[in-house]
């Protein structure tokens, strides 16, 4: 590719081993500590003070992260040091995001990244100004995605605060009825799917403990499993998913569509007049989750929360006027959550489409050289 230097990764960086460290999980310190899957704690000491790429070294699932300020790396990961000046660390980060390090395996009993195999990878390196231009395009997309995620976290927190205020903290005994969860929700409602029907399937591995918005659903032939519709909450009921807080609110199906997933979901749907999103708020509530965990039974390591037990969770049911006030507030919050989620999905698709094309040179970006003159690729499409 025009103006690209054909090199090996070992020509441009070294992979340095992390070191052992104590007490990094205490939450104290000003420097991030990284392991195989990213940030795992804080420390008062740092190992390296230049921008660097953190690459998971040990474990079945290893990740790549960017450290832009002083950091520490424990001995389950590598960090990078540059061997050449004409290398932009942010560009290198996106280059590593374009490969799957989990396909690399040293052959040891524990899956691990081989330093020699990484060094042997081919890279076509554009001029430094173009590296920076490419990294700027991709990081601007990541920044917008991150902003939308943070907005959604704030919106979720607002919804949770409103619920606790009106259903828990400011509940007046004389105003509320004593009830149980089963009075206000349907647990595992009955929906119709026939064996062989093609319907949207959601892998439990794609359900998060940090956002209502799951990824990775796909059309699949129905065999057996839990069925759900938009407005339902899916609660992962099995060890360790329940303890880890895996839950989601379904809003990704077409109108009237029925989706399906693992038998290890408990499906929760609000009864009228309650806003559907309240089921998600309840499922995230610590008191409810503790109750659900206590309901678990089964063999060690494969315990499951029991639907017939969690429906007995004690609830204070406020008067209709309070319910309607909460419904109005949620009617303003939930559409914004959905709008942001749709934007996130669109931007992620754009980024993931652009990434390999930019790294290969199929798509080039305009950039300015050292003299300030704008350069545009002579081959490939430009942006």
Read off the pLDDT of each residue in 129-153 and give the average, rounded to a whole number.
Answer: 95
* Distance from C-alpha of 182 to C-alpha of 188, rounded to nearest angstrom: 11
Band of the pLDDT at 241, cuts 50, 70, 90? Answer: confident
Q: What is the pTM of this model?
A: 0.81
pLDDT digits (tens, 9 = 90+) for 301-359: 689 999 999 999 999 898 999 999 999 999 999 999 999 999 999 999 999 999 999 99
Q: Taking 80 as the threshold, does the pLDDT of residue 372 lie above it?
A: no
> Which tens digit of pLDDT belongs to each residue from 183-220?
999 999 999 999 999 999 999 888 888 788 888 889 99
The DSSP-derived string for 90-112 is HHHHHHHHTS-GGG---SSSS-B
For residue 377, what pLDDT band results from cuts at 50, 70 and 90?
A: very low
Q: How many residues are present in the chain? A: 383
* Helices (H), ranges, the chain: 9-12, 89-97, 115-119, 128-164, 241-244, 278-284, 286-294, 307-310, 320-360
Neighbours of 264 (CB within 10 A): 20
What confidence tens digit (pLDDT) does each residue in 44-61 have? 999 999 999 999 998 777
Higher pLDDT, 12 or 169: 12
The strand order across the sheet containing 71-73 reads 38-43, 31-35, 71-73
Looking at residue 84, its pLDDT comes to: 96
Mean pLDDT of 228-253: 92
Three-state DSSP string of 183-199: HCEEECCCCCCCCCCEE
* Residue 383: band (very low, low, confident or very high) from pLDDT cuts 50, 70, 90: low
Closest to 133 (Cα-Cα) out of 358, 357, 352, 365: 365
Please give the pLDDT value at position 366: 79
DSSP-assigned letter for residue 330: H
Residues 6 or more apart whose Cβ sits within 8 Å of residue 289: 242, 245, 283
352 Cβ neighbours under 8 A, 6+ residues apart: none
The closest of 40, 54, 36, 39 to 111, measured between CA atoms, is 36
Tell which wins on pLDDT, 101 or 79. 79
Which residue's structure tokens are 């003070």? 49
pLDDT at 379: 43
DSSP 36-68: TTEEEEEES--SB-S-EEEEE-BSSS--EEEE-
- Tens of pLDDT, residue by residue over 90-126, are 999 999 999 988 787 666 667 788 899 999 999 999 9
Rounded to an integer, the average pLDDT of 17-23 is: 91
Q: Whole-angstrom Cα distance, residue 44 to residue 46?
A: 7
Phi-psi region of 11 (alpha: psi -120 to 50; beta: other; left: phi over 0): alpha
What is the overall mean pLDDT for the chain?
89
Q: Are 90 and 66 in contact (CB under 8 A)?
A: yes
When computed from its CA atoms, the radius of gyration of the chain, rounded to whole angstroms, is 25
């Amino acid at each position: 590719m025009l103006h690209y230097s054909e090199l090996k990764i070992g020509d441009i960086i070294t992979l340095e081993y992390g070191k052992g460290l104590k007490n990094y999980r205490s939450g104290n310190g000003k420097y991030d500590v990284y392991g195989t899957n990213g940030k795992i704690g804080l420390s008062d000491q740092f190992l390296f003070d230049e921008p660097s790429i953190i690459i998971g070294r040990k474990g079945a699932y290893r990740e790549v992260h960017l450290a832009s300020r002083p950091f520490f790396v424990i001995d389950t990961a590598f960090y990078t040091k540059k061997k050449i000046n004409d290398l932009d660390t942010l560009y290198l980060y996106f280059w590593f995001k374009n490969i799957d390090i989990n396909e690399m395996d040293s052959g040891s009993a524990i899956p691990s990244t081989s330093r020699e195999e990484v060094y042997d990878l081919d890279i076509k390196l554009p001029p430094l100004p173009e590296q920076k231009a490419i990294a700027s395009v991709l990081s601007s997309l990541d920044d917008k995605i991150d902003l939308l995620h943070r907005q959604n976290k704030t919106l979720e927190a607002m919804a949770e605060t409103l619920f606790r205020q009106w259903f828990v903290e400011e509940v007046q005994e004389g105003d509320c009825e004593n009830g149980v969860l089963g009075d206000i929700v349907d647990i595992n409602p009955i929906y119709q799917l026939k064996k062989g029907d093609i319907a949207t399937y959601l892998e439990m591995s794609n359900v998060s403990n940090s956002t209502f918005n799951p990824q990775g659903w796909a059309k699949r032939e129905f065999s057996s499993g839990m069925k759900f519709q938009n407005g339902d909450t899916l609660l992962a009921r099995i060890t360790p998913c329940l303890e880890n807080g895996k839950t989601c609110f379904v809003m990704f199906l077409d109108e009237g569509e029925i989706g399906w997933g693992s038998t290890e979901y408990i499906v929760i749907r609000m009864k009228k007049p309650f806003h559907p999103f309240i089921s998600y708020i309840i499922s995230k509530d610590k008191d409810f989750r503790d109750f659900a965990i206590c309901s678990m039974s089964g063999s060690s390591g494969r315990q499951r929360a029991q639907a017939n037990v969690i429906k007995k969770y004690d609830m204070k049911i406020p008067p209709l006027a309070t319910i309607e006030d909460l419904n109005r507030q949620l009617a303003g919050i939930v559409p914004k959550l959905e709008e942001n989620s749709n934007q996130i999905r669109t931007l992620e698709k754009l980024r993931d489409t652009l990434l390999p094309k930019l790294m290969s040179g199929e798509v080039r970006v305009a950039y300015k050289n050292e003299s300030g003159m704008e350069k545009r690729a002579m081959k490939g499409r430009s942006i």
